[in-house]
Structure 1
Amino acid sequence: MFERYADDQHTLFHGDALQILSDEISSNSVDLIFLDPPYNIGKRFSNFYDKWESEEKYANWAYKMLDQCLRVLKPNGTLYVMTSTQAMPYFDLYLRQKTVILSRIVWHYDSSGVQAKKYFGSMYEPILHCVKDKNNYIFNSDDIKIEAKTGAQRKLIDYRKSVPCQYNTEKVPGNVWYFPRVRYRMEEYENHPSQKPEALLERIILASSNQNSLVLDPFAGTFTSAAVAKRLGRISTSIESQEEYLKIGLRRVLGWKEYKGEKLLPPSKNHTPKNKKSQEKNFIQKSLFDADSTA
């Protein structure tokens, strides 16, 4: 069973991602998929505990999810996949048989101040950038250029060209991206244990979709993909299993003010709620042992 909420451009599903992908999303219909599934590292997401009985069972579940994503993706569509550093080898080996992996991206970020003490703690999360057809896909390089600091800021001259000229001032980003993690009291903060920053989704959506392209996020969480897609003039479909997070999407994407008699308000930035203090305590304890915990 599932519920559907929508306006003319954006659709939110409340239910199981695998079921909804299988039953409700047409084959070859989606331009861009951002897949950020549970990482199998033991986090609590409202009423869902992110831990499978074994790595094998997690991988088999993930393969079913990946197959459904590839089914609904257009022939010229693009798939971005995130998971933990431990699980990414399973995803990589599986996807390289079914897609062309154009880039293996590293999203690295700042430390929370608490790091592992008996090994080198993780400061990044991996992302695969995949397409079905390496000769036919969207990549808007001009829309995502960043400052080229090495030569341009120092006004160096490139003498390798037939006519020497100053280095370019802009360039397409490489495959190592720095974006700060979303912290409490930041403007975009929502009450969720693994919120992804808007800047990261903006780069992905600008690069790999056009105006009115359909963007799919099967594990919407804070609905950042849909919110950014909406701001950039894209269409979106989002799936979320937890009602607590569905309410974020109804407010953030569809503009709802109330849900089942409850006022939908953004989290207060003026004080730390009790559940947030508990989350922070658990996070500090877990960070000492788990290199992939993110706030």
Structure 2
Amino acid sequence: MSMKIIKADILDGINKIIDKSVDLIFIDPPYNLGKKYENNIIDCWKSDEEYIKWVYKWLELAINKLNNNGSLYIMNSVQNMPYIDIFLRKRMCIKSRIVWYYDSSGVQAKKHYGSLYEPILFAVKNKYKYTFNYKDILTEAKTGSIRNLMDYRKKPPQKYNTCKVPGNVWYFPRVRYKMQEYVKHPSQKPEALLERIVLASSNKGDTVLDLFSGTFSMGRVCKKLDRNYIGIEKSKTYVKIGYKRLEL
């Protein structure tokens, strides 16, 4: 198992990766929402059009790094995802459009419905042959495990299953201050969410490429689950955090 951190701008970093050498790519880029990151990096483009063109540049390169049976997950804002969806569906097979929803810390909006979810696209290179370890991500099926109901359509009647494969609506709490995995970062993703992605779409010994690594939570998950990991991040502060969190 290997852990590698590449300190570079995203376009330069991707070009350091060999084509078709990666089994799974996870992408959690800046959303163009004006968030401030360490080292004076601001998530802000002159226009939405400029931002989307930038996304298309590195996304095209990233797809080339996947092997023929590889998978890709990308997150973004509700506003941006339709453009990414259209771009990606012309180049890969989109298997699922996932909603990650979470709790609110208070009133978010008073003149419209505040956003309490982020979309995730799950896409594969080969729609007939790709990794999906459904047994590794089973969740509780409340009909069978809590309500303990019987399915009388079957002869003889049988109890409903106590476990099921998750649907495309996922609930994971956001990472909050003083949580064990918390790192000072404006958009840290929960390790439980990342763990589901890694378990489902890769196997032990596979290589996971993490674009915009941020807090390197994906690296921690890969280390725990015996996956090889490559993380790209341009902030020297976050890179230092990455070396510390991955114990490199």
TM-score band by shorter chain is: over 0.9
2:143/2:162 contact within 8 Å kept: no
- Measured after TM superposition, the shift of residue 82 of structure 1 is 0.2
Contact residue 14 and residue 61 of structure 2 kept, 8 A: yes
**2: CA distance, partners of 1:243 / 1:214:** 23
Q: Does 1:244 align with 2:240?
A: no
2-side partners of 1:166 and 1:152: how far apart?
9
Q: In the aligned structure 1, how far is the partner of 2:153 from the partner of 2:206?
A: 40
Say whether 1:42 aligns with 2:19.
no
Residue number among 72, 78, 84 corresponding to 1:85 in the alignment: 78
- Aligned-partner residue type, residue 197 of structure 1: P
Structure with bigger RCO (C-alpha 8 Å, 6+ apart): 2
Corresponding position of 1:125: 118
> Could you state the TM-score of these two structures normalised by the residue count of structure 1?
0.82
Among candidates 99, 123, 141, match of residue 148 of structure 1: 141
- Structure 1: distance between partners of 2:156 and 2:20: 47
2:18 aligns with 26
Please show how residues 1-295 of structure 1 align to structure 2 within 5 Å.
9-22=2-15, 24-46=16-38, 47-253=40-246, 255-256=247-248
TM value normalised by structure 2: 0.97
| Gap regions ≥5 residues in structure 2 | none
Aligned positions, number = 247
Highest Rg: 1 or 2?
Answer: 1
- Where does structure 1 differ by over 3 angstroms across 4 or more consecutive aligned residues? none
**Percent identity over paired residues:** 56
Q: Deviations over 1:99-156 (max 9, x none)?
A: 1111000000010113111110000000000001111100000000011002332221
Letter in 2 for 1:31: D
CA deviations 1:215-259 (Å, max 9, x no partner) are 110100000111100000000000111011111110011x15xxx
Shift of residue 159, structure 1, vs aligned partner: 2.1
Cα contact 1:88–1:126 (8 A) shared by 2: yes
Shift of 1:15: 1.1
The secondary structure found in structure 2 opposite 1:183 is coil
User: CA offset at residue 158 of structure 1?
Assistant: 1.1
Residues in 1 aligned to 2:181 and 2:227: alpha-carbon distance in whole angstroms: 20
User: In the aligned structure 2, how far is the partner of 1:91 from the partner of 1:25?
Assistant: 22
SS in 2 for 1:230: helix
Counterpart CA distance in 1 for 2:178 and 2:92 is 39
Q: Which amino acid aligns with 2:235?
A: Q
Rounded Cα–Cα distance in structure 1 between residues aligned with 2:153 and 2:224:
41
Report if aligned partners of 1:152, 1:166 keep a CA contact under 8 Å in 2.
no
Counterpart AA for 1:151? G
